[in-house]
Amino acid sequence: MNQALLQYPEFIVALVLGAICLLVPQSREVVADPQEKTASTLGVFAYSLSSLLPQTYQQWLTNNQIRAGWRGRNAVCRFYSWKLYPAIVSGILALWLPLLAVLLVSIFLFFIADLWLVVSVNRRRREIAESLPQALDLLLLCVDAGLGLDAALQRIANERTVLAGALNDELNRLGKDILLGMNRAQAYSDLYERTGVDELRSLGAALSQSQKLGLSVSTILRAQSEFMRNRQQRKAEERAAKLPVWMAFPLWFCIMPALMLILIGPSLLLFIHQTTPLPHGLWH
C-alpha cells in the first residue's frame, strides 16, 4: 500500500482536496459588495481558516490587501487560497524528504504570498505617486475653469488617459465618500489609509487647512503639484546616485573576470607553453 502511494502521489493530493471539499462551510461573507461574484468554495474555506491566525497578523494582511487593491470577495479568498493550500499540500513531501525540510518548505510556501502582497502594494503605491502630479494639474485646470472641488474630483476620476487606474479608483471613492456626507478631513484620512501614499496625506492635510482657513484651493493645488514634482525629481536623483553601488556587483564578479580572461588568457597560455611545454596536439 505504501509503495503504491509513493508511486502515485497524485492520489494523496486528490484525497486531501476531497477531504477539504467535504469540510468546507457553504457560505461566509467576506466583503459586502453585491456586485461581486460568489467566491469559490475552496476560497471561502481558506478564508475561514485565516481566523486561526494571530489578530495582529490578520490586521496587517487586511491593511495590505486594501492597499494592494484586493478588496473584493474573490480577491480576498483567492489570496488566502494561494497562501494556505500550497503549504498544506506540501505535507505530502514527508514521504520523500525529512520532516525538517518539509517544515521549511511549508513555511516558505506560506509566506511567499505575503511577499507577493508586499510587492503588489509597493507597485500600486508607486503607480499612484507617479500619476498624482498629472492629476493635480487636471484638478487645477478644472478649478480654474470654475468647477468646485467636488465636481473637479468627479471629473478627473473618470479621466483614463494620463492617470493610473488605481488613482482613478481612489479618487472616485473619495468623491463618493464626500458626496455621501463624510467629513472632508476624515475622507482625506481614509484615502491615505487605503493607499499608504505619503503625497496623498500631505495633499489631504493641505486641502483640509485651506477649507478651515478659507485659502484659495487653486493656490494650494499649484503648490502641492510643484512640491510633488520636486519630490519625484529628488527621488529620481537619489536612485541615479545609487546606481554605481548596484553596478559594482555585476561589474566586479561578472564582467571583470570575463574581461581579464580575454585580455590575460592568451598571454598566460603562452607563458605556460614556454615554461612547461604542452603536448603538440593539446596546444593546437
Encode pLDDT of 114-146 as tens digits.
898 899 899 988 888 888 888 888 888 888 888
pLDDT at 25: 42
User: Cell digits for 6?
Assistant: 509513493
Task: Note whether 136 and 225 are within 8 A (CB).
Answer: yes
Both ends of the chain: CA-CA distance in Å? Answer: 61
pLDDT at 13: 59
For the entire predicted model, the pTM comes to 0.68
Checking if the pLDDT of 15 tops 70, the result is no
Which one has a higher pLDDT value, 79 or 8?
Answer: 79
Average predicted confidence (pLDDT) for the chain: 77
Q: Where residue 259 falls among pLDDT bands split at 50, 70, 90?
A: confident
Which segment of 20-29, 79-88, 210-219 scores lowest on mean pLDDT?
20-29
Q: Which residues contact 218 (CB under 8 A, 6 or more apart)?
A: 140, 143, 144
Checking if the pLDDT of 206 tops 60, the result is yes
Checking if the pLDDT of 177 tops 60, the result is yes
Q: What is the mean pLDDT of residues 243-258?
A: 80
Share of the chain above pLDDT 90, in %: 1
Checking if the pLDDT of 23 tops 60, the result is no
Checking if the pLDDT of 22 tops 60, the result is no
